[in-house]
Amino acid sequence: MAERPASAPAVPRHVAIVMDGNGRWAKKRHMPRFFGHKQGVDALVRTVHACADRGIEYLTVFAFSSENWKRPSEEVSSLMGLVLVAVSKYLAKLAGDGVRVRIVGDRAQVSDKLRQAWQHAEDSTRHNTKIHLSVAFNYGGRWDIVQACRQAMVAGVKPEDLDEATLNSYMALSYAPDPDLFIRTGGEVRISNFLLWQAAYSELVFTECLWPEFGTEELDSALAQYARRERRFGAVPAAAELVASGS
């Protein structure tokens, strides 16, 4: 095997995942789509633990996009209900295992009940540091850029003072480094409005694996692909390490 280039640390600090393929997984089993989403929650919990075990510090997952409201209303409401069930079923264990949970996205459109559940998840894991799990819910990359611009304007940032670092401080994931590795399951090869700003230099890995089947083998395969990549951040190879280290 080729030696890992020095510009790609063996383990990414931040992994982002588009968890796609729940519906197809269920359809293959002649089950309703909801069943696939339910299994998808279990796959997510497994993945959080697997990432933490591998020293990944940040995991950000796309659970519900700004565009997912266009799905049939029964599927939308079942997804909302599933989140409430998932919070009550898994939160205590995640909290006990040192997972810090954050929700990123527009909370204005979700029900009070869901907003309270999110708040509870965030409050009860606030002091955890093992791994930061960010759940993107009612999130879109374009929404994120617009809301960051709005916040900057409200804060009175002058056009001449607006640079990338300043705008980034208003983005939904301002507390996290940019994702090093961006994984999409389910066979589609697109970004679908996830982390448009933050994924500018992410390494992309697409897999046919449907999300409910995602496990340690798939994760390790994506991590191995990442470790073989040479990250340049737009620079020539020798300079890339300096860019990556921020010096």
Strand ranges, E, within the chain: 14-18, 58-65, 99-104, 131-139, 181-184, 203-206
> 68 vs 169, which CB is nearer to ligand FPP?
68
**Residue from the set 15, 41, 50, 114 that interacts with ligand FPP by CB under 6 A:** 41
> 152 vs 222, which CB is nearer to ligand FPP?
222
Residue 136, class by beta-carbon neighbours within 10 Å (0-12 exposed, 13-18 middle, 19+ buried)? Answer: buried
> 165 vs 189, which CB is nearer to ligand FPP?
189
Query: Does the annotation count 128 as an active-site position?
Result: no
State how far the Cα of 219 lies from the Cα of 32, in Å rounded to an integer.
26
- Token reading at 115: 């907003």
Query: Does the annotation count 193 as an active-site position?
Result: no
40 forms part of the interface with ligand FPP (CB under 6 A): yes
Catalytic residue among 68, 128, 168, 193: 68
φ/ψ of 56, rounded to 5, equals -75, 130
63 forms part of the interface with ligand FPP (CB under 6 A): yes
Four-residue CA torsion sign, 165, 143, 147, 185: negative
83 forms part of the interface with ligand FPP (CB under 6 A): yes
Give the contact letters, 179-218, x = binds to ligand FPP (CB under 6 A), - = no.
-------x------------------------x-------
140 forms part of the interface with ligand FPP (CB under 6 A): no
Residue 132 bridge partners (DSSP): 58, 100
**Residue from the set 7, 14, 17, 21 that interacts with ligand FPP by CB under 6 A:** 21
86 forms part of the interface with ligand FPP (CB under 6 A): yes
Residue 187's alpha-carbon distances to 19, 52, 148, 162, in angstroms, are 11, 25, 31, 38
CB 68 within 8 A of CB 79: yes
- Token reading at 2: 């080729």
Q: Which stretch binds ligand FPP (CB under 6 A): 8-16, 34-42, 149-157, 229-237?
A: 34-42
Residues identified as active-site:
20, 68
Positions in the binding site for ligand FPP (CB under 6 A): 19-24, 33, 37, 40-41, 44, 63, 68, 82-83, 86, 135, 186, 211
